[in-house]
Amino acid sequence: MRDTFFAARWIALLLPAALLAGAWGFQLIGGLVPCEMCHWQRWPHYAAVVIAVLAFIVPGMSSRRTLVALAALAIAVSGAIGVYHAGVQYQWWQGATECTSSLASAGNAADMLNAIMAAPIVRCDQPQWTLWGVSLAGFNAILSLGGAILIALLLRRSPRIKR
């Protein structure tokens, strides 16, 4: 039974870390520029990684269980944002109007204007990449919500040790 808490804690750390690595890989290696909602999905994963790391170093089983549960909640929040973002991409509902672009630092006003004009405009309602009709936001929703549910089930099955 203790193995269930061990698994929950590792999933709470490795799932958001892997999803962030994938997002950064698509951005840095694949050349995909994230939209505003893509960034929104990353923030809860950053929080989940920090919280899950704390679950490995904080003393006391009760505190560790709480931290793993909080990491699962952060993962679920990212998944919920992924559902919203995927729904915008599939035209199920209207999304946010923000767009993002990357700007390199420019030396003077003319260079800065040229950089602004050359920067890509990324729309939140257009997926840049899909596999089997599922966008990156859709995969984040599936993996994050599934992972959060799995962590919750594992925590529920693990024994509560009071210390």
For residues 5-16, give the mean pLDDT. 92
Q: Give this prediction's pTM.
A: 0.77
pLDDT attached to residue 162: 52
> Which sequence spans correspond to the domains of the chain?
2-157
CATH classification for the domain delimited by 2-157, as one of 1.20.1550, 2.60.120, 3.50.50, 1.10.3470: 1.20.1550
pLDDT attached to residue 62: 81
pLDDT attached to residue 4: 87
pLDDT digits (tens, 9 = 90+) for 71-117: 999 999 999 989 888 888 888 877 766 554 445 555 777 777 776 66
Burial (Cβ within 10 Å: 0-12, 13-18, ≥19) of residue 142: middle
Residue 17 above 80 pLDDT? yes
pLDDT band at residue 12 under the 50/70/90 scheme: very high
Distance of CA 70 to the CA centre of its chain: 14
Residues forming beta bridges with residue 58, ordered by sequence position:
none
For residues 24-49, give the mean pLDDT. 88
What are 100-105's contacts with CB under 8 Å, separation 24+? 100/33, 100/34, 100/35, 100/36, 100/39, 101/33, 102/33
pLDDT band at residue 141 under the 50/70/90 scheme: very high
Residue 33 above 50 pLDDT? yes
Residue bearing tokens 């505190």: 63
Residue 133 above 90 pLDDT? no
